[in-house]
Homo-oligomer: A and B are copies of this chain.
Amino acid sequence: MLRFDREAVLSTSAHIDFWFDFISPYGYLASLRVDSVAERHGRKVDWHCMLLGVSVLKVMGLKPLMETPLKRDYVPKEVHRYARRHGIELNRDLFAPPMNPLPVARVFCWLKEHRPTQAKAFAREAMKRYWVDVADLSDGARLSEALQSAGLEAGVLESALKGDGPALLRAEVERATQLGVFGSPFFLVDAEPFFGVDKLEVLDEWLQRGGW
């Protein structure tokens, strides 16, 4: 009965939107914590994929973090410090070029549309493979393995990439820009925007107090 009540609360409260790019280390760090923060306040989290290559490079006209002088030296220190603090495994070399995020992002958007209950499990699996196992998910074979581990059948890959995966991703990325989402991670709570992994603690307090 308690379980029923809790689910009723979760289903009637507005969800939190969590935006990330698969190739963003800060997005990965946030992905491992955002659901538990939200859950403490009876909220569910809707995960959304964005592309830093569109938001940061094209719309904002900036450079990738790891190609920005000074910042590129700082980012790995901050990311690994955060990982140590929260017991998060992260083995990928942050100085190495990122994979092409389009295939995995297209698959994720396709799953959200056609297999909504399995999309988040796939995203978690994909991020684990990219950040912990250092797999390149722009490789179809590696992407298939991630799909299988998330309990999805082999045919999904082709359906997603040759079907409406690309169009769904384009729509999501356009929506990100319309919503003012410009980085990863980015959170929207009742229309209030929070940028950056350090905002998880702010968001926790915001939900506790009901804003300020």
B-binding residues in A (CB < 8 A)? 55, 59-63, 68-71, 73-74, 77-78, 81, 84-85, 177, 180-182, 192-196, 198-199, 201-202, 212
Contact = CB atoms under 8 A, between A and B. Distances in A.
B63 A62 contact: yes
Nearest to A71: B182
Given A61-B63, A63-B61, A198-B198, A212 B84 contact: yes
Contacts of A81: 192, 212
Given A70-B177, A199-B198, A193 B61 contact: no
Number of copies: 2
A70 B59 contact: yes
B68 A180 contact: no
Contacts of A181: 70
Contacts of A78: 193-195
9 contacts: A61-B68, A70-B177, A70-B180, A70-B181, A73-B180, A74-B195, A77-B193, A84-B212, A85-B212
Contacts of A199: 198
A180 B74 contact: yes
A206 B39 CA distance: 26
A63 B193 CA distance: 22
A99 B202 CA distance: 30
Contacts of A192: 77, 81
A78 B199 CA distance: 11
A87 to B, nearest CB: 10
A41 to B, nearest CB: 17
Kindly name the residue among A69, A70, A196, A199 whose own CB sees the greatest number of chain B CB atoms within 10 A.
Answer: A70
Kindly name the residue among A61, A69, A192 whose own CB sees the greatest number of chain B CB atoms within 10 A.
Answer: A69
Contacts of A180: 70, 73-74
A62 B182 CA distance: 15
B198 A196 contact: yes
A60 B71 contact: yes
